C-alpha cells in the first residue's frame, strides 16, 4: 500500500485513531510519519472543516527546506497574507491568494482534493454568454495564447520548461501527460538539432 | 411553529437527517480573516440588505440576528441545534445569522467565509435540501459577484472547501452496524470512495447514542450532483445494512430486544437524574424500538428532537440560571419525563 500522504513510498506505519467511537485508519510511510504529528494528521479527514494547522502539517512539511525559504518571501499583494501565514493556518486571506500561491501549493490542493479543477456549478457571470464566448472559451483562448508565448522563447528555455513540466507531471503521477510532454520534448530536440 | 427536528422519524429508516452546506465569498472583499472591523460591519450590513426579499422569494419566514450580540450560551445552544458550527462561537467582529422560523434554513454572514448557506431536513432528503440551498445561492448570485476562479471554482477561506463549496452530510442511527465486527473495515472502504464518517456525539473514544454522520471528503473536481449522489448512495447502503442486521436480531432474540427497549423507556420516564451518556444511549434504544415497531407512542415523537433537547446548553438556557453537574443531570431527567410521550 502506498503512503497516503506522499503517495510515493510504501506505507509501513498504520495509524489508528478513534474519535467519538469511529475508528479511522491511516497508512503512512516512515518518512511522512516522522514529519507529521500523526495525531493531528488523522483529523484531516474528520469534521466539517479540518482545523487549520492540521493541513498546514501536510502542506508545510512536504516541501524541501530550500524551497520553503524561497517561498517564505511570497506575499499576496491584495491582502498581505504571506506564504508562511498560509502554512500556519492553511487559510487564505482573499480570492487573489489562490492565484498568488497557486504555483507553490497547487500540488498540495490537488493531493488534498484529488483534483485541481472545478467542474461544478458556475456563477451567472461565468456561464456561457450570448455571443458564445463563455468562461470555457476564454480559458481555452488563454491557454492557446500561453503556448504561443512559449513558442517564442529561446529553444534552451523551451527545453527547460518542458523538462520541468514533465517532472511536475511525473510527481503528480500524470503519466499520460508526461508521455505527451516527453514526445513534444523529443520532437523539439530533433527539430532544433539538440539531440542527446 | 415546529422546528424541523421536531418532526417524527420515518419508521423503517435509520436516516435521522440530511444537511447541505454551501460556502461562498463576495469578490469585493477579502476573506473574513483579513477584514477590518469596518469591513466586517459593512459587509454584514450589505449582505443582509441583499438577503432582504429572500423570504417572499422562497415562501419562508426568516429572522435576522447579530451573532456578536448573542451570549456564548445562546450561540452554543445554536451549535447544539446544528445551526452554527463550533468555530464561529469565538469569532470577533460583526457577523450575522439569517434563520428560517423552523430553523431548517440558516445563512451565516461573515463567519469563516462571507456566506454559509445551510439546509437541514429529517430523513434522506439530500436532493431536496440541495435544491433549496441552490435557490438561495442563485438569489444571492443575482445580487452580488462571487469570488470564482475558472480553475478552482468558488473560492473559500480554506482550501478544503474550494470548488463547489459543498458539504453534503447524512446522519444515521446505526446501533447494530456500529457494533458489527466489520464496521471499521466498512468505514475504511467508504473513505477510499470519498466519504468520511464520524460519531455525532461522544467523548474521547466512546460513542453516545450510535448516531453517525457521513459526508463527502472532497469539494473539488466533482459536480454538485455527483457529490450529492455519492453521499446519498452511501447513506442508503448503510441504512440497508443496519436494517438487515436489525431484522436478523429481531428474529433471533426478539424478547431480549423488547425487554431492552421497554426497560429503557422505563428509566427515561421515571429517572430523577440522567447523565448525557446514559440518556443518549437509552434514547438510542427508544429510537430503534419505535423504528422497528416494538414500541408505539401515543403521540408522534421525534427522538432526535429529544436528543437535541437534552444537550447541556439547551438545558442551561431553559433553566435560566447556572447549574452544577448534578443539577444538570436532574434537569435532563425532568426534561425527558415531561417530553417523552406515553406509550400504548
Ligand atoms: Zn509518505
Ligand atoms: Zn490574498
Give me the interface pTM, i.e. the ipTM: 0.86
Give how far A191 is from chain B: nearest CA, Å: 33
Under an 8 A CB cutoff, do B191 and A45 touch? yes
Residue A136 has pLDDT above 60, yes or no: no
With cell 497516503, the residue in question is: A4
Under an 8 A CB cutoff, do A113 and B151 touch? no
Q: What is the DSSP letter of A19?
A: E
CB atoms within 10 A of CB B254: 12
Per-range mean pLDDT, top range of A176-190, B48-62, B78-92, B230-244: B230-244
User: Mean pLDDT, to the nearest integer, of B41-59?
Assistant: 90
Under an 8 A CB cutoff, do B30 and A94 touch? yes
* CA–CA dist B323, B313 (Å, integer): 11
Q: CATH 3.30.590.10 in chain B: give the residue spans.
A: 4-245
* CA–CA dist B157, A61 (Å, integer): 21
Beta-sheet strand order (sheet of B195-199): B62-66, B96-100, B105-109, B115-122, B15-24, B166-173, B211-216, B195-199
Judge whether A31 and A9 are in contact, CB under 8 Å: yes
Question: pLDDT, tens digit, for every residue of A18-55?
Answer: 666 676 777 776 666 666 654 444 333 333 333 333 34
* CA–CA dist B209, B277 (Å, integer): 8
- Measured between beta carbons, the chain A residues lying within 8 angstroms of B198 are 19-20, 22, 46-47
Share the mean pLDDT of chain B: 93
Under an 8 A CB cutoff, do A94 and B152 touch? no
Nearest to A47 among B30, B198, B201 (CB): B198
With cell 426579499, the residue in question is: B53
CB atoms within 10 A of CB B6: 18
Under an 8 A CB cutoff, do A92 and B31 touch? yes
Considering only residues 50 to 69 of chain A, which have any Cβ-Cβ distance to chain B shorter than 8 Å? 50, 52, 55
Determine the pLDDT at residue B20.
Answer: 98
Question: pLDDT, tens digit, for every residue of B166-195?
Answer: 999 999 999 999 998 888 888 888 878 889
- Measured between beta carbons, the chain B residues lying within 8 angstroms of A54 are none
**Helix count and strand count (H, E) for chain B:** 11, 12
Nearest to A46 among B154, B196, B208 (CB): B196
| CATH level 3 topology of B4-245 | Creatine Kinase; Chain A, domain 2 (3.30.590)
**Does residue A21 or residue B214 have the better pLDDT?**
B214
- The ligand that comes nearest to the alpha carbon of residue B29 is 2
CB atoms within 10 A of CB B134: 18
Per-range mean pLDDT, top range of A76-85, A98-107, B178-187, B224-233: B224-233
* CA–CA dist B206, B40 (Å, integer): 40
A112 CA to middle of ligand 1, Å?
14
* CA–CA dist B281, B266 (Å, integer): 13
Chain B CB within 8 Å of residue A14 CB: no
Judge whether A94 and B157 are in contact, CB under 8 Å: no
Judge whether A152 and A161 are in contact, CB under 8 Å: no
pTM over 0.95: no
Give how far A154 is from chain B: nearest CA, Å: 29
- What B55-59 contacts at long range (C-beta under 8 Å, 24+ apart), as own/partner pairs, is B57/B135, B57/B139, B58/B105, B58/B132, B58/B135, B58/B136, B58/B139
The three-point CA angle B288-B291-B295 to 5° equals 80
E-only strand ranges, chain B: 15-24, 62-66, 96-100, 105-109, 115-122, 148-149, 153-154, 166-173, 195-199, 202-203, 206-207, 211-216
Determine the pLDDT at residue B254.
Answer: 86
CB neighbour class for A81 (10 Å; exposed up to 12, middle 13-18, buried from 19) = buried
Please give the backbone phi and psi of residue B16, each rounded to the nearest 5 degrees, phi first: -85, -55
List residues bridging with B115 in a β-sheet.
Answer: B24, B109
Judged by DSSP in three states, B153 sits in: strand
Judge whether B168 and B22 are in contact, CB under 8 Å: no
Amino acid at each position: 500500500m502506498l503512503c497516503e500522504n506522499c503517495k510515493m513510498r510504501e506505507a509501513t506505519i498504520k495509524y489508528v485513531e478513534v474519535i467519538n467511537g469511529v475508528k479511522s485508519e491511516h497508512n503512512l510511510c516512515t518518512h511522512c510519519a516522522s514529519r507529521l504529528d500523526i495525531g493531528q494528521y488523522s483529523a484531516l479527514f474528520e469534521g466539517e472543516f479540518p482545523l487549520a494547522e492540521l493541513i498546514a502539517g501536510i502542506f508545510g512539511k512536504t516541501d524541501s527546506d530550500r524551497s520553503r525559504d524561497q517561498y517564505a518571501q511570497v506575499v499576496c499583494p491584495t491582502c498581505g497574507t504571506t506564504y508562511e501565514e498560509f502554512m500556519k493556518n492553511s487559510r487564505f486571506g482573499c480570492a487573489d491568494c489562490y492565484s498568488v500561491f497557486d504555483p507553490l501549493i497547487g500540488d498540495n490542493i490537488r493531493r488534498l482534493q484529488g483534483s485541481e479543477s472545478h467542474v461544478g456549478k458556475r456563477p451567472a457571470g461565468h456561464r456561457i454568454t450570448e455571443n458564445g464566448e463563455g468562461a470555457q472559451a476564454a480559458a481555452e483562448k488563454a491557454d492557446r495564447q500561453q503556448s504561443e508565448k512559449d513558442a517564442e522563447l529561446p529553444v534552451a528555455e523551451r527545453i527547460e520548461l518542458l523538462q520541468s513540466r514533465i517532472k511536475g507531471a511525473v510527481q503528480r503521477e500524470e503519466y499520460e501527460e508526461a508521455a505527451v510532454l516527453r514526445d513534444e520534448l523529443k520532437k523539439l530536440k530533433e527539430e532544433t538539432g539538440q539531440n542527446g | 411553529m415546529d422546528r424541523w427536528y421536531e418532526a417524527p422519524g420515518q419508521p423503517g429508516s435509520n436516516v435521522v437527517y440530511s444537511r447541505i452546506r454551501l460556502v461562498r465569498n463576495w469578490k469585493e472583499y477579502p476573506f473574513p480573516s483579513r477584514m477590518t472591523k469596518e469591513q466586517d460591519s459593512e459587509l454584514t450590513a450589505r449582505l443582509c440588505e441583499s438577503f432582504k426579499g429572500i423570504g417572499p422569494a422562497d415562501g419562508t419566514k426568516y429572522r435576522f440576528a447579530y451573532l456578536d450580540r448573542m451570549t456564548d450560551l445562546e450561540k452554543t445552544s445554536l451549535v447544539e441545534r446544528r445551526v452554527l458550527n463550533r468555530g464561529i462561537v469565538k469569532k470577533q467582529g460583526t457577523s450575522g445569522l439569517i434563520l428560517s422560523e423552523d430553523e431548517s434554513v440558516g445563512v451565516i454572514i461573515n463567519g469563516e467565509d462571507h456566506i454559509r448557506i445551510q439546509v437541514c431536513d429529517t430523513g434522506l432528503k439530500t436532493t431536496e435540501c440541495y435544491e433549496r440551498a441552490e435557490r438561495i445561492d442563485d438569489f444571492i448570485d443575482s445580487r452580488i459577484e462571487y469570488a470564482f476562479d475558472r480553475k478552482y471554482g468558488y473560492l473559500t477561506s480554506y482550501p478544503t472547501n474550494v470548488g463547489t463549496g459543498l458539504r453534503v452530510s447524512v446522519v444515521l442511527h446505526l446501533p447494530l452496524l456500529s457494533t458489527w465486527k466489520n464496521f471499521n473495515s466498512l468505514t475504511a472502504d467508504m473513505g477510499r470512495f470519498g466519504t468520511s464518517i464520524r460519531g455525532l456525539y461522544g467523548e474521547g473514544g466512546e460513542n453516545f447514542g450510535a448516531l453517525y454522520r457521513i459526508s463527502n471528503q472532497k469539494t473539488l473536481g466533482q459536480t454538485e450532483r455527483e457529490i450529492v449522489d455519492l453521499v446519498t448512495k452511501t447513506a442508503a447502503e448503510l441504512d440497508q445494512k443496519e436494517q438487515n442486521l436489525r431484522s436478523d436480531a429481531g428474529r433471533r432474540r426478539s424478547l431480549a430486544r423488547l425487554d431492552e427497549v421497554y426497560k429503557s423507556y422505563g428509566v427515561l420516564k421515571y429517572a430523577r437524574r440522567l447523565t448525557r451518556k446514559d440518556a443518549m444511549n437509552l434514547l438510542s434504544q427508544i429510537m430503534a424500538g419505535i423504528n422497528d415497531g416494538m414500541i408505539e407512542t401515543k403521540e408522534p415523537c421525534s427522538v432526535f428532537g429529544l436528543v437535541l433537547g437534552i444537550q447541556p446548553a439547551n438545558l442551561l438556557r431553559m433553566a435560566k440560571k447556572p447549574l452544577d453537574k448534578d443539577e444538570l443531570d436532574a434537569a435532563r431527567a425532568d426534561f425527558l419525563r415531561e417530553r417523552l410521550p406515553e406509550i400504548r
